[in-house]
Every structure is written in C-alpha cells, then in structure tokens.
Amino acid sequence: MSGFKSSLDKRFGISNSGSKISTEIIAGLTTFFTMAYIIFVNPNILGATGMPTQAVFLATIFAAVIGTLVMGLFANVPYAQAPGMGLNAFFTYTVCFGLGFAWQQALAMVFICGLINIFITVTKVRKQIIKAIPKTMQYAIGGGIGVFIAYIGFKNAQFLKFTSDPFNIIGIFDGTVITDGGIVPAITDFANSGALLALFGLVLTIILIVFKVKGSILIGIVATTIVALLTGNIDLANGAINTSSWGESFKELGTTFGAAFGSEGMGSLFNDVSRLPIVLLAIFAFSLSDTFDTIGTFIGTGRKSGIFSEEDIMSLETSKGFKSKMDKALFADAIATSIGSIFGTSNTTTYVESAAGIEAGGRTGLTSVVTAIMFALCILIAPIAGLVPSVATAPALIVVGIMMIGAFKEIDWNNLEEAIPAFFSAILMAFAYNISIGIAFGFIFYCIVKLCKGQIKQVHPILWGSAILFVLYFVLMGLQGAGIIG
C-alpha cells in the first residue's frame, strides 16, 4: 500500500504541492457533489430539442469523465469538466429554437468549436482574442448568461404567467402564439402543483447553500424529485423513461453518438449558403463563451490558490504550445468540447464549482481523477435519470444564475462607457431569449461608444469585425422578415 501511495505522490507531485492523498480524495468528492446536478439538468435542457434524455444523461457523464481525466492526468490540475450551464441553454434556446437548426447540426457546431479552441490554444491566436474583448464585456457576458439561465429557471418552475394584448397578436402557428409586444409578465398564483414543487425545491436549496452544505444543488434536485414521486406528480407507468434495463439507455446513446457527423449534422450544416453567416456566428458565439468561461475560472481560482503561478497566468498571452500548466489545462478543456459533441452533448467546459474542491485543499490532478471516478459510477442510475421533472431542476438553474450574476460587480456602472455596452449585452440575453443577441448588441454598442468618443484605435480589429458581422446578420434577418430575400 505504501508503494501505491508513493507512486501516486510521485505521479501527481502531491507532496511538492503541499497536499496529501487523503486531502486530494476529499477534494475530489467535494467537487463532484457540488457539480453533480448537471447530470440531471443537462438532459432536461437538451431534451427540449428532441434529443433522447437517457442518451444525453450518458453523454453528459462520458463527457465529464473523459474531460476531467484529461484535466487530471495531462494537466495535473484539480479542475473538473462537464457540459456547461449557459452553453447548453445557448445550444437549445438560441441555436435550435431561435435559429432553427436541428440538434444534430448544433452538435456539429460544438465539434467545430472544440477544434477552433484547440487551434487557438496551441497558437498565439488565443492571445489576440483575449486582448480583443474588453474585461468589462467579459464580465457582462458572464453575468448576462446568469440572468438568462435564471429566467429559464423561473419559466421551467412555472413561477411566471404571461398576458397578451389581443390587438398585438400576429397569429398562431403550430399552436404557438406570436405577438408583436403587449406581453405582460406576472407571478403565478401557485395554484398548480408544479409551481409548488419548484418553490419547495428553491427554498430548500437556498437554505442548504446559506448553511454551506456540500452538494446543496444536487440535494435540492433529489429531494424535490422524491416529493414529486410521493405526491403523484410523476407517473411511473407512463414516464418518459424505461426503468427496466441499462440496455435501453445505451440504445438511446446510439442515437446521439456520432450524430454530429451524419447527414443531419455536419452533412447538412453547410448546404444552405444563405445561412452560412448564421452558422459561423453561432460557432463564434459557442467558442467565445466557452473560452472566456474557462479562462475566468482558471484565473479566478488558480491565482489565489497557487495552482497557477504568475508565469502560468502570463503565458495566457505570450506562449504557444504546452509550455506551462495553464496551456495544458486549456488544451484539456478544448479537447473535452469536441469529445462531448461526439457522444451527444453541448460544450464541455471547466466548472467554476471546482473551486469547492480547491477550497477543500485539492491542488493536483488526483482531485480530478477522483471526481471523474464518481461521475463514472453515476452510469448505474441511468435508467431512472429521466424521471427527474423540470420543476425539480428549475431551482438549480435559478441558483446557478444567482452565482453567475456576481460577475456584474466587476463593472463600473457609474462609467457610461462601460455601462452602456455591458447593459445591452447582459439584459438582451434574457429579453431576447438569445445569448448571441446579447453578445452582438454589446459588441455593437461598445464600438458605437468608442466611435463617439473618438477612441476608434482602442477597439481591436477582431471586435470591429465581429460587430460588423453581427450588423450584417441583423440586416439579413430584416430583409428576410420583409420578404425581400428568401
């Protein structure tokens, strides 16, 4: 046993990092229980596109296991990966629902995004992209995604009801009412059991978080699901899942595995030349959100804990290849995105919840390996995963939104040069129900403000190019809406 411990210590450099094997194991368990909610939330969000939920459940686990193992064994850092919140919402509500792409095509975009992130990691392109996006815009995007996720949570929790002015109704298409304004949101009267269940889950989760209980979000999801079962709000006989065998779960996985490369995925993604700008913008938005989400997590937790040295942080802008621990960690993150898309899930990214494990003392890749093992064990519960109702996962979305909104504190709201583009970027993500629209307006107004101030040279060419592409996109949408082009 001592020989095994010695090998672990040598492999991960545990003693040199000031940690112990027992501490690393506890840290890995802490990280897992803090972020395990994703295995229930992700199928719920992606399942809305028509993807089989059991398949997404397994794809989420495989992406988390592989991505986290690469992070631990290759980069030797205590970070865990899984399909990212915000990115899965962008996948479903923007790319599939908003832009009208099939989920197979969206998976193809995610795969391409992973390849792009790999390229910018091993070259100095990353340096230019990081320099191009102002820090305030990065914070606005992160906080805005938090607002968007929380809004989805409120809707899924059935907390909101909407009243439409009949004079503004344009028409009803396939059961969907299309209006041109006149929508008034209001709080529900809590007369339905779904809203009451979600309220129970939200209150419980918040209480657990306030008392700093590990795995608060996961406990809230499980408890709400149990209450739903006991109160008859889940029909076991006619549920959307077969609880009889794991074979059914893996059979569904065959539907999503490799779908990104089939005729309905990559094979049709670039067939329509008129939609090519939209495809490229969606891929750009995927890559942008994924890149800065990961960089923010690394810098925010790595510097304080000493996992990344100042040299590692500086390498983010100056190096290429794998000369530092930061480079290796970013490469592991990029690889995981493409791998996840192959199995059938949205962008796999580094989780900020890894900070819980780091706070518990995790300093090496052994923490990540333990987390990956725990995710792998979750395969055993695949047959019952689909029983978790959306009202049980809705509180998790609201709570995660609260956590992400904290990025707003880094913005100087008294400085209109920062506040104007940050406001449009963050608020329009929720109001337009579209993350890329928020990013677009943020970029455009940032350029407008700088143009008015005579500070054109302060805007990076990449940002100018992005803003122009977004303007062209809106012009194209306007022409299509007016019937001028097909």
Whole-angstrom distance, CA of residue 124 vs CA of residue 121? 7
pLDDT tens-digit series, residues 431-446? 887 777 788 899 899 9
Maximal C-alpha separation, the chain: 77
Domain locations in the chain as residue ranges: 14-404, 411-486
CA distances from 50 to 148, 245, 311 (A): 21, 22, 46
What is the per-residue pLDDT for 240?
43
The ranges of the chain with pLDDT < 50 are 238-244, 486
In terms of DSSP H, where are the helices of 52-188? 53-70, 87-89, 103-122, 125-132, 135-156
Q: What is the pLDDT of residues 290-333, one digit of tens each?
A: 876 677 667 656 655 667 776 776 666 666 666 678 788 888 98
Does residue 167 sit in helix, strand or coil? Answer: helix
Which residue shows structure tokens 């479903």?
A: 92
CA–CA distances in Å: residue 171 to residues 142, 168, 184, 379: 35, 9, 18, 45
C-beta of residue 279 within 8 angstroms of C-beta of residue 270: yes
- Report d(CA 188, CA 193) in Å as an integer: 12
Strands 169-173, 176-179: pairing is: antiparallel
